[in-house]
Structure 1
Amino acid sequence: MDPLTTLQQPYPLNAFHLVIKEAAEEVVRHVQAPDALVGMEFLTNMSASAQGLYDVRLPTGQIRPLSLNLLTVADSGERKTGVHDLVAAPLYEFDQERIRRHEADFAQYELDMRVWEQIDKGLRRRLTKLTQEDKPIEETCLQLSEQAAAKPVMPRPRRIMHQNATERAIMDALEGDGESIAFISDEGDVIIKGGALKQLGVLNKAWDGAQMLTMDRSNGVSIVVRNPRVTVSYQVQPAVLKELLDRRGDVMRGSGHWARYLVGCPTSTQGIRFTYRLTNEWRHLPRFHECMRDVLNERGRRIDAGVMERTTLEFMEDASSRWIVLGNELESALGLDGDLHDIKDHASKALEITGRVAALLHVFSMQEGAISVDTLNRAVSIVGWHIDEFRRIFSPEYAVPQEQADAQVLERYLRKRYARWNRWVVEKNKVLRNGPVRPVSRLDAALDCLNAAGAVWVGVGLRNEQYINLNQAYFGSQTTMGF
């Protein structure tokens, strides 16, 4: 079966090209956040940075944005903010520089406008006087026409990052041609309650790469948006997602909005984030940040030059051939007895999302020319992981049972906390107090799963205390449970 339709655990960071992979792995090591949370944060920032500069021509001939929608489900304490602040630093720098430039431009605009208004008033007074004196007005009318054409244009703020936005604010930010914005938050409640998700039609059309969006104001003036680009990425706690599903889940799924998302619910690292040495050395993340800054700076230069056209990336011939195979395999999986029938809304967009991810990998691995089949295959691995996550979150019949999810977390804890140090027996109560799985009923169920897998067995001591015995043959290998 093709990797696009199979489960891949853990998150396929190896699918990223070296400059991205090494930076992501460095963040995982330093912050000890879940690998999927880190991987999705990198995709978010790649999309937000590059969408204003590049498009991709799919092998079907359609030109599509590089914009992505991402939803990360993670509990409080998973270090979402720490990861976001680290990876997104160049985006904030870019926005801050554009804001400073806008403040200076606006101050100059106000000065120019005051001068323009005085000249305009003088010309109008002269026209009135000439009319009253019945003198020729042609020259003054010409001057007024030239004055009108020379009216200073109010500079517009151009920042990428947004959180709380109404439909009017979204349209205002995108007004004009080729504008690029991103709704990104490590506290998704801000975006959910802020109004952005109430504009599903606008967001869907922007994701699709609509050539024009319009909004009619009450005063009869219309806002016209041409060729907008919008990245949407937010991280929510499970309780917040449940509330959103209960309240608006049918609308968001039925409208096709969630079908456009890469979703993930990373396995928690809480309880196994042990520190053995302190280091502030970052060797690989700065290299990735250089790539981000290069892309953002080129975007800034084009804005300043008034050139809003984007560069269109193409696929190599062998990548196009691979695309046909993937498309046929996906199509066969959408049928009534197909593996992806229950999430066919999402799966039908998976190949397009794969094309977008491939283009982002191409840009941030600093490759030249067309997108290679190797890069496409890397994107397939990444999107394949997210397809399974979409099914796990939105298709209850494929949900991982609680005891199996707990067993996976418990296995990682035992491996990192004990097996790696050749400690093969541990008190059960100690694991209950300090480990990641509580209460005791859930711990017992997780131990039953690990026992069935041959990973552990529970023994009883002389005073009826219970001990967890780790199977050295199991934990001595690199095998982990793939639930």
Structure 2
Amino acid sequence: MNNFLDPPIYPRRHFCDAQDSIEELIRNIQAPDALIAMEVGSCMSIVTQPLYDIRLPTGQVRPLSMNWAVIADSGERKSAVHAIVAKPIYEFDQRMKEKYDVQIEHYKAELDFWKSVLSGLKQKLVKLTREDACVKDLKEQMSEHAKAKPAKPRQRRIMRKLTNERAMMEALEGCGESIGFVSDEGQVLVKGGALERVGINNSLWDGAELVMDRSDGVQLHVKDPRMSISFMIQRLVFKQFLGKRGDELRGSGNWARYLIGDPRTTKGTRFISTVNPPYVHLSKFQFRMGELLEEYERRIELGKIERDILEFSEDAIRRWIEMSNEIEYMLRPSQYLHDIDDFASKVLEITSRLAGVMHVFSSQEGKISVDTLQRAFDIVGWHIDEFKRLFSPELAVSEVVINAMKVEDYLYRKVWQANYTYVLQNYAFNFGPIRTKAKFQPALDCLESLGRIQIGVGPRGERYINLHHGYFQAKQFPVLDNF
């Protein structure tokens, strides 16, 4: 379970071959560790979902699509992380656009020629009709000509942002199409309404078949679609959105399909040692993304998108069953998951999807191993704590705890990192983050009760905040973990 004053480091080392890239990004960009790792996981799922599905031990075949949501305020370097990690996907989209531009010009020329021939056939039909001549052969010609009408090329783009329901259906129309709603500013998705189509989003996460009737009488038919959602959203926007739609999203099981994270800020710890830090491992990660996207492109060109089905090894199946029983036990009224049973019901499937994504991305052969499954479960376990912390009424974070977090950050950055082990209480009050006595004292009491500080009294009655040496010496912010 998470400690609210000291959230644990994200289990990014469980990401198989992607872990070195994650560590490198954390060192170079110095954004919150969970923000970076979740962006990496999101891109991994987006490039694998068009190519693979996974068979659960229950026999169900499920998509590798995944939903991710990061709560992060301005200045957390969300855009920088997204731009560098998702770069191969945007390059794929640009390449597909260039292909489409060529194809559409060819299509227009072919269509003009086809229309000219059709016009000639119609003129012949008028002439024969006037002459009372037989038009049987001409009708056959016109029928064959209708079949030869050029097909309009499809414009494919994985990355989507602003859209409405019809545009979503049009993007996925056909069989086996794959897209991602991705934004480093979640407000775009919120305002665009992409997150409000709860029923459709749930169905698309499941890979379900959908049909929409258009006003012109034509149906939009979506079969075997794949869609992942990933967004980073500011805390205030997220709170407002939950205030309006939170009950519906939770009640419908929509939030249960997300891996949500609210990582601790790295502001105030992002010290620069070089202006152009080197990237060694990231290029390998991006190369692998490119390989999977090229395979997707190859299958598109074949005219039929088919997916391979991943399966678990016997050891992994046994561990999967153990996990299932562990989760079931924790749903009891006195156990950890009883108040977030909606998310708990999806934990094993999300874990299985993530295991499949990591198996493919790290080029593992054969069936998914128990090691990969356990790695995925450890990552999802961090999100279980986050979901409970964010949505469980039993663990709502009080204002005292929030203020204590702010005071602790101040003591760490301004006192401990300045090589001091104590500070006058009045000084911390006058220059620290909490300057209301009615809020400052309870925050100190909270920290003292946890053994992180001790309040001492000087010879003239002045009060000192003494920092616990062992705690602050061992304390590491995520970004400083490998600094």
2:273 is the alignment partner of 1:276: yes
- Counterpart in the other structure of 1:203: 201
CA–CA distance in structure 1, aligned partners of residues 243 and 409 of structure 2: 32
**Displacement of 1:461:** 7.3
| Cα 1:28/1:312, change in 2 over 3 Å | same
- Counterpart in the other structure of 1:126: 124
CA contact (8 A) 2:63 2:207 kept: yes
Number of equivalenced pairs: 474
Please list, as runs of the form range in 1=range in 2, the aligned pairs for 1:162-201 lying within 5 A after superposition.
162-201=160-199
**Displacement of 1:329:** 1.3
Q: Once structures 1 and 2 are overlaid, which stretch shifts more, 345-354 or 121-130? A: 121-130
- Counterpart in the other structure of 1:12: 11
- Partner SS state of residue 146, structure 1: helix
- Partner SS state of residue 476, structure 1: helix
CA–CA distance in structure 1, aligned partners of residues 70 and 477 of structure 2: 23
- Counterpart in the other structure of 1:88: 86
| Cα 1:53/1:409, change in 2 over 3 Å | farther
CA contact (8 A) 2:121 2:142 kept: yes
| Cα 1:333/1:94, change in 2 over 3 Å | same
**Displacement of 1:145:** 2.3
- Counterpart in the other structure of 2:320: 323
2:124 counterpart letter in structure 1: R
TM-score calculated relative to the size of structure 2: 0.90
- Which structure 1 segments of 5+ residues have no match? none
- Counterpart in the other structure of 1:222: 219
CA contact (8 A) 2:266 2:477 kept: no
- Counterpart in the other structure of 1:233: 230
1:10 counterpart letter in structure 2: I
**Displacement of 1:203:** 0.8
CA–CA distance in structure 2, aligned partners of residues 21 and 419 of structure 1: 30
CA–CA distance in structure 1, aligned partners of residues 417 and 282 of structure 2: 28
- Counterpart in the other structure of 2:481: none
| Cα 1:285/1:306, change in 2 over 3 Å | same
| Cα 1:333/1:214, change in 2 over 3 Å | same
CA contact (8 A) 1:271 1:434 kept: no
2:393 counterpart letter in structure 1: P
**Displacement of 1:92:** 0.9
2:247 is the alignment partner of 1:250: yes
Q: Could you tell me which of 45, 48, 51 is aligned with 1:50?
A: 48
- Counterpart in the other structure of 2:144: 146
| Cα 1:455/1:195, change in 2 over 3 Å | closer
- Partner SS state of residue 109, structure 1: helix
**Displacement of 1:467:** 5.6
- Counterpart in the other structure of 2:256: 259
CA–CA distance in structure 1, aligned partners of residues 389 and 345 of structure 2: 17
CA–CA distance in structure 2, aligned partners of residues 315 and 409 of structure 1: 45
**Displacement of 1:422:** 5.0
- Counterpart in the other structure of 2:287: 290
- Counterpart in the other structure of 2:469: 472
- Counterpart in the other structure of 2:375: 378
- Counterpart in the other structure of 1:156: 154
**Displacement of 1:20:** 0.9
2:385 counterpart letter in structure 1: D
- Partner SS state of residue 225, structure 1: strand
CA contact (8 A) 2:403 2:434 kept: no
1:14 counterpart letter in structure 2: R
CA–CA distance in structure 1, aligned partners of residues 414 and 13 of structure 2: 25
| Cα 1:430/1:290, change in 2 over 3 Å | farther
Q: Could you tell me which of 25, 28, 48 is aligned with 1:27?
A: 25
Deviations 1:331-384 (A, max 9, x none): 122233332111111110111011001111111112111110000000101111
| Cα 1:417/1:29, change in 2 over 3 Å | farther
- Partner SS state of residue 216, structure 2: coil
CA contact (8 A) 1:415 1:475 kept: yes
| Cα 1:144/1:429, change in 2 over 3 Å | farther
**Displacement of 1:457:** 3.4
CA–CA distance in structure 2, aligned partners of residues 454 and 221 of structure 1: 68
**Displacement of 1:326:** 0.7
**Displacement of 1:155:** 1.0
Q: Once structures 1 and 2 are overlaid, which stretch shifts more, 113-122 or 460-469? A: 460-469
- Partner SS state of residue 190, structure 1: helix
**Displacement of 1:173:** 0.7
Q: Once structures 1 and 2 are overlaid, which stretch shifts more, 261-270 or 395-404? A: 395-404
Q: Once structures 1 and 2 are overlaid, which stretch shifts more, 456-465 or 146-155? A: 456-465
CA contact (8 A) 1:163 1:183 kept: yes
CA contact (8 A) 2:404 2:447 kept: yes
Deviations 1:145-187 (A, max 9, x none): 2221211111121001111111111111111011111111111
**Displacement of 1:443:** 5.7
- Percent identical among aligned pairs is 48
Q: Once structures 1 and 2 are overlaid, which stretch shifts more, 356-365 or 125-134? A: 125-134
CA contact (8 A) 1:55 1:312 kept: yes
Q: Once structures 1 and 2 are overlaid, which stretch shifts more, 398-407 or 364-373? A: 398-407
CA contact (8 A) 2:422 2:466 kept: yes
- Partner SS state of residue 195, structure 2: helix
Q: Once structures 1 and 2 are overlaid, which stretch shifts more, 270-279 or 173-182? A: 270-279
Deviations 1:234-268 (A, max 9, x none): 12222112211221111111111111111111111
CA contact (8 A) 1:392 1:399 kept: yes
CA–CA distance in structure 2, aligned partners of residues 393 and 85 of structure 1: 27
- Counterpart in the other structure of 1:455: 452
**Displacement of 1:293:** 0.8
**Displacement of 1:471:** 3.2
CA–CA distance in structure 2, aligned partners of residues 66 and 297 of structure 1: 18
**Displacement of 1:402:** 4.1
CA RMSD of aligned residues (A): 2.7
- Counterpart in the other structure of 1:363: 360
